[in-house]
Amino acid sequence: MTKGTIINIPRRFVKDEWGGTETVITETAHQLKSIGYRLESVTTLALSNNKHECIFGIPVKRFNYSYTRLGLSKKHRLLLDKRGGNMFSLPLFFYLIFSKNIRIIHLHTMGRLGALARIAARLKGIPYVVSIHGGYLGLPKEQLDDMMQPLKGSFNWGKPFDLLIQSAKVIEGADAVICVGENEREKIAAKYPQQKVIYLPNGVDQQRFASGNACAFMSKYHFSETDKIILCVSSFTPQKNQQTLLRAFAKAHKHSPELKLVLIGVIYDQDYFDLLENLRKELGLQQDVRFIINLKFDDPSLANAYAAAELFVLPSLYEPFGIVVLESWASGTPVLCGNVGGLPSFVTNGENGLFFDVESVDCLCQKMLSILQNKLLYKYIQSHALKAVETYSWQAISKRLANLYEEISS
């Protein structure tokens, strides 16, 4: 007997542009299906022309949308599709209104889509949940300005809609707010003291990332047995700060020529990716730095890359959570990252990871060399990370989510 339908609403949901939000929706959906829920992902046609699709067993329905901006170029529209545009979709709203047997609407976005879902939930008399995947209150101004850059030079004709649908009240009306970082949970709870705000971290498929094949990766990408790989898995956007990693790697490589840097990710910002390619040439690292772009999330090479790596580095200026840290932990690869965003919610400096100053090339270089040259420190970090990741299974995370659903809909 079904427990009802859970409608997940992200801004976009496409297999070729995979990210943390898509992983959370998919992995929790699989777990929730096993206990009787029916799951759907309802989203926009951003980055896709396919209105109906099944992705990893999850039905996906997509609808037309608008950015309510005059003078928005195709290039800037694409950037908004990929990085956080505020969408408006009446077809999606009417789908929610006329759909039957919806038990809960689970928002993975706010803005206009969130406001429309809020109205639909209230008209239907059902609860809705908002997941904050990072950046609502904690995003640094520099990163916020960068995300808003595509809007410059265009005119927003959607302000009357915002007033009508009360876009600013999505959190205020939610039956529960989920944060993936403890720091952001505290900020939102302080701003909305009447709301139910909980910390629910992301999870990881431990079995998948613990079974990566290092030899398969080394062979496929033509590395030698003596090469030592430093890995970064992250989308190519300025927020991810790979240029600092490139410069730090260049310094470390002079001390340890056997080091190779592998950067895996989806290109969200082509101009930024071009900057990284030019920097690689400028630093003379064409033979020592490898870009692997647009690798599918389910490609075995992803888990194999973690297995092959000596060290994982996440240089993000801001990171809402960082599922890639859990993936690295599950593979047994030590992690270096910044003390930013949601990372300190689960990474403990000197125990299961090492923090570095994300704006300092010298600091990152020193931390990379210190852990690679100190076997005792390496093993200590590695063992504590393997122990820590045991509490982040998708089964455990989804059970807590299911308990929340039951609580707010009973």
Looking at residue 76, what is its pLDDT?
A: 87
Q: What is the pLDDT at residue 320?
A: 87
Q: pTM (2 decimals)? A: 0.91
5-203+393-409 and 206-391, same CATH topology: yes
pLDDT at 16: 86
Question: Contact 248/241 with Cβ under 8 angstroms?
Answer: no
pLDDT score, position 150:
79
Residue 10 contacts by C-beta under 8 Å, 6 or more apart in sequence? 21, 22, 25, 41, 43, 108, 109
pLDDT at 234: 95
Pairing mode, strands 228-233 and 309-314: parallel
Exposed/middle/buried for 16, CB within 10 Å: 0-12, 13-18, 19+? exposed
- Is 10:22 a contact under the CB 8 Å cutoff? yes
CB burial of 142-178 (b: ≥16 within 10 Å; e: otherwise) equals ebeebbeebbeebeeebeebbeebebeebbebbbbbb
- Residue-level pLDDT at 84: 78
Tally of CA atoms within 13 A in the half-sphere of 7 that contains its CB: 27
Q: What is the pLDDT of residue 138?
A: 64
Q: What is the pLDDT of residue 340?
A: 93
Q: DSSP class of residue 320?
A: S
Residue 40: DSSP 8-state: E
Do the beta carbons of residue 288 and residue 404 sit within 8 Å?
no
User: Domain spanning 206-391: which CATH class is it, in words?
Assistant: alpha beta
Assign 160 to helix, strand or coil: helix
Burial 38-64 (b: 16+ CB within 10 A, else e): bbbbbbbbbbbeeeeeebeebebbbbe
φ/ψ bin of 336: left (φ > 0), alpha (ψ from -120 to 50), beta (otherwise): beta
Per-residue tokens: 375: 């076997």
CATH class, domain 5-203+393-409, is alpha beta
Q: Where are the alpha helices (DSSP H) in 284-374?
A: 300-308, 323-331, 361-373
Q: CA–CA separation, 44 vs 11, rounded Å?
A: 6
Sign, CA torsion 243/244/246/250: positive
Spatial contact of 43 and 62, defined as CB atoms under 8 Å apart: yes
Going from N- to C-terminal start, the domains of the chain cover 5-203+393-409, 206-391
Q: Mean pLDDT in each 10-residue stretch from start to end of the chain (410 residues)?
A: 91 91 95 96 96 96 95 89 89 97 96 97 98 75 72 86 91 96 91 96 96 97 96 95 98 97 94 97 97 92 98 95 96 97 94 98 98 97 97 96 95
Q: What is the largest CA-CA distance in the chain?
A: 64
